[in-house]
Copies of this chain bind each other. A is one copy, B any other.
Amino acid sequence: MATLTSREDDYSKWYNELVIKADMAENSGVRGCMVIKPYGYAIWEKMQHHLDQMFKDTGHENAYFPLFIPKSYLSKESDHVEGFAKECAVVTHYRLKNAPDGHGVVVDPEAKLEEELIVRPTSETIIWNTYKNWIKSHRDLPILINQWANVVRWEMRTRLFLRTAEFLWQEGHTAHVSKEEAIEEAEKMLKVYTEFVENFMAIPVIQGVKSPAERFAGAEETYCIEAMMQDGKALQAGTSHFLGQNFAKAFDVKYQSKEGKQEYVWATSWGVSTRLIGALIMSHSDNNGLVLPPKIAPIQVVIVPIHKTEDQLNAIADLAYTLKSQLKQMNISLKFDDRTEYKPGWKFNEYELKGVPVRIAIGPKDLENRQVEIARRDTLEKHLHSVDGLAEYIQSLLQDIQQNIFNKAKERRDSLITEVNTYDEFKKVLDEKGGFVSAHWDGSLEVEEKIKAETKATIRCIPLDAKEENGVCIYSGKPSQRRVLFARAY
């Protein structure tokens, strides 16, 4: 197994190699579309499992809406179409036929669609066209629906997980009687995302709102959680949008209020995607490979036997299967890797590369001493532990590892927030240190665009907990009431 490029040598190359070597995903024969391999998909399944439970616990149900969106629907909300029209996969025909020259197939020109269909880049339009028929009265509200789906945005520059033409995600779409209720929903789901990303994926995030320029196309307010990667670049980990009445008006969705009046419905939408797997990799992993938080790791514990004879292997297997069934009771997954075609040293590297949180090695000496060797993936430390009480010990060790991975990421993230008061400082921090730069901004689109053009930094968010503080915009010198967070971002 060739070694991984180190983060210090080339962070971008390190990431690309790691995704491939750890068997997470690979590029497909289709431009910009990835194949998510079983190991990567198992992480997505764990993410889905926990998120889905959290959505249901907050009263949401799943449903499924069409993959295709008629072109005319997309145009109904003007900001929305502006935001998505330039990166759409368009279906124009519904049939192939044999090529006239007898080689292969060609598009049958007779089978042209009257109206082109867009492969959904997001589903607001098809869903609001549906909600129109579901909503008559205030009794039909709220509608609290989530969809697990694939979406397509024709990105020109793609990277595995971080930016792909097709990706998997969930999108919540809710409808409410009032502005207050819709805002409450959007904020509630931001909290759900924060809890999930911090507690399960061990990635600390900053909750905030986007500047108007960075809002979702069609939203009145975009709430977001922003994470910080090891290379000092930010990554948007999830968004929750308060859509006002924009889609209700575009699709003419009204309800009869308790007072008997016809009112437009209020909306939210919110989503996270397979992009989060990119954030997971870039938040915790090191030069030896992936580092996975136990709560999201497909394999939480692996046992590698070290043996010369068949008898030794059998004795180790006895121990392994006993432990496996004990851990199963605790909902902890254990893999016993008794493959004989690979040597222990090769397996050690393999599981390090794949980020398995706890690796246990057992040799004949260990059996005699009724002990095992335990290696933690997060710290790479090794120590011995008695066979007695091993399951309970592993359970608490996994909790410890989960917490430690989060703490480490949080310390790093905190050290990468820098307050600056001048534009010179701003540029210096961006270039020399990276991370979030906390600065005063006058709230104008003009300044935001100039700073972006000159430094490639964007406003990641206006933190929800930003304190009021009188200051002056680092660019224009105009007054500002609070600091916002800038960063270069994925």
Shortest CB-to-CB span from A211 to chain B, Å, is: 25
Shortest CB-to-CB span from A253 to chain B, Å, is: 14
B29 touches A73 (CB 8 A): yes
Q: How many copies does the complex hold?
A: 2
A96 touches B71 (CB 8 A): yes
B89 touches A35 (CB 8 A): no
A464 within 8 A of B: no
Query: Residue of B at shortest CB range from A88?
Result: B96
Interface SS majority for chain A = mixed
Q: A30-B69, A30-B126, A38-B145 are in contact. Are A90 and B107 (CB under 8 A)?
A: yes
Query: Residue of B at shortest CB range from A118?
Result: B96
A85 within 8 A of B: yes
A67 within 8 A of B: yes
Shortest CB-to-CB span from A460 to chain B, Å, is: 28
Shortest CB-to-CB span from A224 to chain B, Å, is: 26
Shortest CB-to-CB span from A231 to chain B, Å, is: 27
Task: List, in ascending order, chain B residues with CB within 8 A of A64's CB.
Answer: 35-36, 41, 44, 168
A44 to B147, CA, bound (A): 13
A63 within 8 A of B: yes
Query: Residue of B at shortest CB range from A36?
Result: B64
Task: List, in ascending order, chain B residues with CB within 8 A of A341's CB.
Answer: 139
Q: Select which of B38, B70, B116, B119 is within 8 A of A63 by beta carbon.
A: B38
Q: Select which of B75, B90, B130, B133 is within 8 A of A91 by beta carbon.
A: B90
A393 within 8 A of B: no
CB contact list, A453-475 vs B, under 8 A: none
Interface residues contributed by chain A, number (CB under 8 Å): 64
A28 touches B130 (CB 8 A): yes
Shortest CB-to-CB span from A80 to chain B, Å, is: 11
A126 to B92, CA, bound (A): 21
A308 within 8 A of B: no
Shortest CB-to-CB span from A24 to chain B, Å, is: 11
B85 touches A90 (CB 8 A): no
Task: List, in ascending order, chain B residues with CB within 8 A of A96's CB.
Answer: 71, 74, 81, 85-86, 88, 90, 118
B66 touches A166 (CB 8 A): yes
A45 within 8 A of B: yes
Provide the A13-51 mask, 1 if CB < 8 A to any CB of B, else 0: 000000000000010111001111110011011000000
A33 to B117, CA, bound (A): 12
Q: A89-B117, A154-B94 are in contact. Are A81 and B105 (CB under 8 A)?
A: yes
A129 touches B29 (CB 8 A): yes
A62 within 8 A of B: yes
Q: A90-B93, A95-B88, A105-B81 are in contact. Are A126 and B63 (CB under 8 A)?
A: no
Q: Sample 26 A-B pairs with CB under 8 A, ordered by A number.
A: A28-B129, A29-B66, A29-B70, A29-B73, A29-B129, A30-B126, A34-B66, A35-B63, A35-B64, A38-B61, A38-B145, A41-B62, A67-B119, A68-B89, A68-B166, A81-B105, A85-B97, A87-B95, A90-B93, A90-B107, A91-B91, A91-B119, A107-B116, A119-B119, A139-B341, A149-B150
Chain A residues proximal to chain B, CB less than 8 Å: 26, 28-30, 33-38, 41-42, 44-45, 61-75, 81, 85-98, 104-105, 107, 116-119, 126, 129-130, 133, 139, 145, 149-150, 152, 154, 166, 168, 341
